Structure 1
Amino acid sequence: MGNVSAIIFVNEDISQGIATIDSIRTFNDIDDLSVIVVDNTDGGKLFQWAQEQLDITYIYMDEGPQTFSEIFNGVMSEVKIDSDVLLIDEGMTIVPQCLSTMKAILDSESDIGAVGGVSNGFCGCQNRAELASYSNAINMALSMEALRKRKRTLNLDSAAILWKRETIRALGKMDEDIGDRRTSMLDYCIRATLTDWKLMICPECLWWDVQKGCRAERETLQIQKLEKKWKMHYFNWLPNYCLIDLIDREDWENFNVLEVGCDCGATLLEIKNIFPNVNTYGSELNPNAAKVAMHVTTIQINNIEEQTLNFEQTKFDYIIFGDVLEHLRDPQAVIEFCRKILKEDGCIIACIPNIMHISVMKELLNGRFEYTETGLLDKTHVHFFTYFEIEKMFQQAGYEMEVVSSKGISLSANDEILMEALLDLSTETQRFMYETFQYIVRARKDKF
């Protein structure tokens, strides 16, 4: 096999698989690249076409349709690959400079385990929705300066990832009890982080997805399997940009950030990407989540309500609570304690669910208040907040609310009618109090 082995998975649409192969033939800029096509279609639909191709290795999964983890494990054991491995899903097409840039970043540091790019078909921080067409992506790539920028992440989109050979050797097989592509790859990425391999996103590495639209919206992530495997009530690998956006600093500044309930550390990691000189710290109650977070930040396993947090007398410019205050028995006492560890002009940044959202009001009017696994009525919530309660809590604890923004969800025509009726009944409420699903708050420590 070559210095890089590109493994292309074809599951349903052979035309999309062929489009991926053609793009590699056109724009590959790695000297030693071998192409392996894995045919997981019913009946081996690619077989006839593959017999006429002289530059690919063809593998037919003749045991019938299998899960992604089973296919990956089977291919890796059958082919005995001794090279870096580029995993590509059908329909993902490359543009100029993509592969050589990914390879250069992978080789730039010994502890970089995998590299991903950006695409119109990816979601979150790997999404480039502005890519309008394949030709647009090609032209954009040709006009880019090759800076080889990268940022660290906890997860890479499974549709196109370049893995270092040593990382795959160290991690071994994928967990076949998980099965599907997105969930298996997220599990593999977490295993990589736990063994001190860094995962990188390169914004210069463009991929065009011929399927269009976010792949994550078409593929269900079986997060419950990961929560069970890793023994976490929540399994959060995505940064919360609503919180990050309220950090009012220049990207070159040095300051201290503490996140309470940091989970696996995704938000703190992204803060470090944006503000390279920041010092990040995390407090996490779940020891299994903390085991992941300790690889990306300074962490303490701690119950914030015990008020024993101590990072060697470090004072913080920002303390972040991302969906945490509603889980506390006495959230006001906690933010009062935070005054002691905040700098004089320090801030709390928090996102807090709104119990007054119209969806909850509608259920109350019908006599129902049913707890759920997640959301506004999450069964682990022990405190419920309206706008006025949030305002009162921060004021009584010694803070001035500087910024309050809202996150909402789409509402039905019946919701709009109900809101108008409720507004007619009250002289103190406003429309946003029913529309807001979650409040995003920045509150600055008072100087009294």
Structure 2
Amino acid sequence: MSSTRHTYDYVVDTASQTAPANVIRMVGQHKRVLEIGCGPGSITKLLAQQGQCRVTGLELDPDAIKLVEPYCDAVMQADLNAADWPQLLDSTERFDVVVAADVLEHLYDPWTTLKRMVPLMSPEGYLVISLPHVGHAAIAGCLMTGDFDYRDWGLLDRTHIRFFGLKNMEDLFAQAELKIVEARFVTKPPEDTEFAPAWSRLSSQVKSALSSSPHAHVYQVVIKAVPLSGPGEPVSLIPPAPVDQLLPSVSSVKSRIAARLSPQAKLRIRKIFGLFRVRM
């Protein structure tokens, strides 16, 4: 076997506020877990070892399957872009928790895939999903510099084919007849992201404008969701009016950005974000 480290093999500090650490905490302990897109087991092994969970994994990459097998009760090769992948679990007991950590953005139809996850939960079960946030200020900064560079990991992982703003995430769960009952924002200032070099080339005025959105530093979102009839009050990813009073309103943010950007820059931002159909 090659000694080269798998792209998605990483160390998780469970005391941190990273997305994987939040996923592990949100899953809890002593659960029967279905981890969809488990990769080489960066999260899986901690669910099994520290959380004492029993994990069933679904994964496409055969190299990753070999690495994750020791931490799973069972692991199956599955193509989530195919319609029949849930049939792999027909003879399996329903799960306490269904996890998809940074998976949906890699799929052609994440909306249908999320719907297909729902019947795999037990009646008291829940989903834990993490998603990258395309509305991060660093992404807007890349658009400003014309350097929209795909990478092997991060917000612009070259295998990402779907992009979500906070409103799009809410819509994703709503169309699957799910309600969000808990959410954790993973925040990073642009200078601490993989886009730091592009960010450093922006003027201080542009940096200030792009960072003025209340969600400009949200890098990832970790979400716990249940069916609409399940327990818990729904949580909005975009704070309702009482909380908005503590933050700049959308209209005021747009006004500040408009005041600081040239007409050409504003047109460029509108055109490019229009391609993603994403609201910042």
Name the TM-score class by shorter chain.
Answer: 0.5 to 0.7
- Tell me the SS of whatever aligns to 2:169: helix
Conserved? CA contact 1:265–1:282, under 8 Å? no
Conserved? CA contact 1:344–1:445, under 8 Å? no
Answering whether residue 213 of structure 2 is matched by residue 436 of structure 1, we say no
User: CA offsets per residue over residues 350-402 of structure 1, 9 Å max, x none?
Assistant: 22111111111112133442322222111111001111111110111111111
For 2:41 and 2:8, locate their aligned partners in 1 and report how far apart those are by CA, in whole Å. 11
Distance 1:377 1:237, change over 3 A: closer
Distance 1:415 1:325, change over 3 A: farther
For 2:40 and 2:114, locate their aligned partners in 1 and report how far apart those are by CA, in whole Å. 22
Higher relative contact order, chain-length normalized (CA < 8 Å, sep 6+)? 2
- Tell me the SS of whatever aligns to 2:184: strand
User: CA offsets per residue over residues 38-80 of structure 1, 9 Å max, x none?
Assistant: xxxxxxxxxxxxxxxxxxxxxxxxxxxxxxxxxxxxxxxxxxx
User: CA offsets per residue over residues 69-126 of structure 1, 9 Å max, x none?
Assistant: xxxxxxxxxxxxxxxxxxxxxxxxxxxxxxxxxxxxxxxxxxxxxxxxxxxxxxxxxx
Conserved? CA contact 1:419–1:434, under 8 Å? no
Q: Which residue of 2 aligns with 1:299?
A: 75
Counterpart selection for 2:38 from 240, 252, 262: 262
Counterpart selection for 1:287 from 51, 62, 72: 62
Q: By how many angstroms is 1:405 displaced?
A: 1.4
Answering whether residue 151 of structure 2 is matched by residue 372 of structure 1, we say yes
Q: Which residue of 1 aligns with 2:250?
A: none
Distance 1:368 1:226, change over 3 A: closer
Conserved? CA contact 2:181–2:224, under 8 Å? yes
CA RMSD in angstroms comes to 2.6
For 1:292 and 1:372, locate their aligned partners in 2 and report how far apart those are by CA, in whole Å. 23
Q: Which residue of 2 aligns with 1:183?
A: none
Gaps of 5+ in 1: 1-174, 179-186, 188-224, 228-233, 425-429
Q: Which residue of 1 aligns with 2:16?
A: none
For 1:384, the aligned partner's letter is F
For 1:346 and 1:361, locate their aligned partners in 2 and report how far apart those are by CA, in whole Å. 37
Counterpart selection for 1:381 from 144, 160, 163: 160
For 1:403 and 1:415, locate their aligned partners in 2 and report how far apart those are by CA, in whole Å. 37
For 1:376 and 1:418, locate their aligned partners in 2 and report how far apart those are by CA, in whole Å. 21
Answering whether residue 170 of structure 2 is matched by residue 421 of structure 1, we say no
Conserved? CA contact 1:265–1:292, under 8 Å? yes
1:235-254 mapped onto 2 (5 Å cutoff) = 235-239=8-12, 240-247=20-27, 249=28, 251=29, 253=30
Q: TM-score, normalised by structure 1?
A: 0.43
Q: Which residue of 1 aligns with 2:128?
A: 349
1:73-92 mapped onto 2 (5 Å cutoff) = none
Answering whether residue 124 of structure 2 is matched by residue 336 of structure 1, we say no
Q: By how many angstroms is 1:417 displaced?
A: 4.8
For 2:81 and 2:25, locate their aligned partners in 1 and report how far apart those are by CA, in whole Å. 26
- Tell me the SS of whatever aligns to 1:304: coil
For 1:358 and 1:303, locate their aligned partners in 2 and report how far apart those are by CA, in whole Å. 33
For 1:331, the aligned partner's letter is P
Q: Which residue of 1 aligns with 2:229?
A: 447
- Tell me the SS of whatever aligns to 1:270: helix
For 1:238, the aligned partner's letter is V
Q: By how many angstroms is 1:446 displaced?
A: 2.2
Distance 1:416 1:284, change over 3 A: farther
Conserved? CA contact 1:257–1:317, under 8 Å? yes
1:11-410 mapped onto 2 (5 Å cutoff) = 187=3, 225-227=4-6, 234-239=7-12, 240-247=20-27, 249=28, 251=29, 253=30, 255-276=31-52, 278-297=53-72, 298-306=74-82, 307-309=84-86, 310-311=88-89, 312-410=91-189
Q: By how many angstroms is 1:404 displaced?
A: 1.7
Which protein is bigger by CA-based radius of gyration? 1
For 1:288, the aligned partner's letter is D
- Tell me the SS of whatever aligns to 1:389: helix
**Between structures 1 and 2, the one with greater strand share:** 1
For 1:346 and 1:329, locate their aligned partners in 2 and report how far apart those are by CA, in whole Å. 26
For 2:49 and 2:138, locate their aligned partners in 1 and report how far apart those are by CA, in whole Å. 36
Q: TM-score, normalised by structure 2?
A: 0.67
Conserved? CA contact 2:8–2:42, under 8 Å? no
Q: By how many angstroms is 1:435 displaced?
A: 0.7
For 2:101, the aligned partner's letter is G
Identity, in percent, stands at 22
